[in-house]
Structure 1
Amino acid sequence: TAALSQGPALSQAGTDLLRSKSLDRNSFDSGDWFNAIHWNCADGNGFGRGLPPAADNAAKWDYARPLLTSVKVGCPQITGASAAYRDLLKIRTTEKAFSLGTAARVQEQLSFPLSGKDETPGVITMRLGDLVVVFNATPQQQEQRVPALAGQRYRLHPVQAAGADETVKTAAYTTGTGTFTVPARTVAVFTRAGN
């Protein structure tokens, strides 16, 4: 969400490398053991290193314990996440809609057509000029129907269509219903066809 927001986007060292804080709820003060950055991906960047400090996390250890052995992160996942992140940054820097100069321009171009009672929990659908961005944080594929866009032609942004993330390439748009289909835990950027 930060990479595709208006204004300066915050990316911290290791954001694109699946940097782990070992499930620590206090990301400000995780300590060096959990906050270490390893630029070479060899140790999984901290995933599964251990339970986070008790002071802020003991009540959630029963949820964290199974993840320490079931979530495996290595070089393929880390380099893949970094490449997909670079695709998003390329979209951000090449699409002028992500850097509108005034609040009035943002208010004119930006909307969230499915917010309120039509919102799918865990999904944000954002319309920004000729772009539609769907943030799907859920573990399932989601279909987001935007009736106002029915009949208009959209396609997956060319950077993602030719990019590093094979999962996002399965995102689709159905013209007749104005429905955007996005895989689980995926951010897909759609552009109006012809743009």
Structure 2
Amino acid sequence: TMTTNGMGRGLPLAGDNRDNWQFMRDRLADPLLHPSPEQIEFTAQVFQEFLSIRRDAPLLRLRSANDIEERLHFHDTGPDGTPGVIVMELRDRSPLEPLDADIDAMMIVFNATGRRVSIVVPDAIGRTFVVHEVQAGGVDAEWLRGAFVATANGRVSVPAFSTVVFVEPGAR
């Protein structure tokens, strides 16, 4: 119905959570924390866009552990990594067997922070990444308009609370 989504039902297993149940109950009962029908609809549309990207991108459907080990790389990791941010890259470039003639790589940035983040990814220097066409024309396009990967210095910049899919168009 897109008017409700079940927010506020149930608590996590007791385990380490029992001591926090009352705190959680109070929050879950707060109507100001429940999403509006507009927010539910928007979220459903964004989710459909992600499913569309996944359906059309062989790099997001790797079939073997070997493929994952060869193609998946994480940037900005370790103790110096940016808290709340994950930068992953899926490569489809030589010498790997190509999976997608149109895309050499995908870089996906998950920003769970409440601020815009800019991170330098040295492996992105000299390469051209653009926001995936589904997101660039999607319901979140205005919010994602400022997302970019700078070819000159590898700086990746994404807005707060976003997941941005960048693609490096195929050179084959």
Q: Which structure carries more relative contact order (alpha carbon 8 Å, separation 6+)?
A: 2
**Is the 8 Å Cα contact of residues 151 and 176 (structure 1) preserved in structure 2?**
yes
| Alignment check: 8 A CA contact 1:168 1:187 kept | no
Structure 2: unaligned runs, 5 residues or longer: 92-104
Q: Which amino acid aligns with 1:164?
A: V
Distance 1:193 1:45, change over 3 A: same
The answer on whether the counterparts of 2:11 and 2:21 sit within 8 Å (CA) in structure 1 is no
- When the two chains are superposed, the root-mean-square deviation of aligned CA atoms in Å is 2.5
TM (norm. structure 2) is 0.76
Which residue of 2 is the match for residue 119 of structure 1?
81
Whole-angstrom CA distance in 2 between matches of 1:140 and 1:94: 30
Per-residue CA distance 1:69-118 (angstroms, 9 max, x = gap): 44241111111101111111111111111112222121111010221133
1:148 aligns with 2:123: yes
Higher strand share: 2
Q: Where does 1:10-49 land on structure 2 (aligned, <5 Å)? A: 40-42=1-3, 44-47=4-7, 49=8
Count of residues in correspondence between the two structures: 154
Distance 1:66 1:83 in 2: 26
Residue 94 (1) aligns with residue 56 (2): yes
With over 3 angstroms needed to count, the CA separation of the structure-2 counterparts of 1:142 and 1:63, relative to structure 1, is farther
For structure 1, list consecutive stretches of 5 or more residues without a partner in the other structure. Answer: 1-39
CA distance in 2, matches of 1:124, 1:132: 10
One-letter identity of the residue aligned with 1:187: T
Identify which of 129, 133, 139 aligns with 1:164.
Answer: 139
**1:185 aligned to 2:161?**
yes
Q: Describe the SS at the equivalent of 1:46.
A: coil
Percent sequence identity over aligned pairs: 31
Deviation at 1:120, TM superposition (A): 1.0
Q: Counterparts of 1:136 and 1:89 in 2: how far apart (Å)?
A: 19
